[in-house]
């Protein structure tokens, strides 16, 4: 499954009502580290298909979601399970760091 584009309109259905953990990548087009992280996020979406959902939240297009999660630097990756934030990763991180966060919630 490819990454999902998460918006305020589909957030409840795709994230809060998800029966599997969700990894959200808060990013922006102009952010260099976000662009560096994008291939890793895409790979994780493929590698963990069926085990987690991977969503991308463009902070410029979805300021309400960014504000709700108090995003003040990007990229920020958040793991949500059972409607609760379980982990937060700030800045660019290697794939191994992100998969470690995910594996703890599976």
pLDDT at 1 over 70: no
Active-site residue (options: 31, 44, 59, 66): 31
Mean pLDDT of the chain: 96
How confident is the model at residue 12, as a pLDDT?
A: 96
Q: Are 46 and 77 in contact (CB under 8 A)?
A: no
Q: Is 17 a catalytic residue?
A: no
Domains, the chain: 4-105 (3.40.30.10)
Q: Indicate which residue of 6, 22, 23, 34 is catalytic.
A: 34
pLDDT at residue 5, rounded to an integer: 97
Contact 22, 29 (CB under 8 A): no
Give 20-72 pLDDT, tens digit per residue. 999 999 999 999 999 999 999 999 999 999 999 999 999 999 999 999 999 99
Who's near 54: CB < 8 A, 6+ residues apart? 1, 3, 4, 22, 23, 25, 41, 44, 45, 48
Q: How many CA atoms lie within 13 A of 90 on its CB side?
A: 5
Neighbours of 78 (CB within 10 A): 21
* The token pair that represents 8 in the structure block: 């305020």
């Amino acid at each position: 499954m490819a990454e999902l584009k998460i918006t305020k309109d589909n957030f409840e259905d795709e994230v809060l009502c998800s029966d599997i953990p969700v990894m959200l990548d808060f990013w922006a087009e102009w952010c260099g580290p976000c662009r560096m992280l994008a291939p890793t996020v895409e790979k994780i979406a493929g590698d963990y298909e069926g085990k987690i959902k991977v969503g991308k939240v463009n902070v410029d297009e979805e300021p309400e979601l960014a504000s709700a999660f108090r995003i003040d630097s990007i990229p920020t990756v958040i793991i949500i399970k059972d409607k609760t934030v379980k982990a937060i990763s700030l800045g660019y991180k290697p794939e191994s760091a992100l998969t470690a966060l995910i594996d703890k919630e599976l």
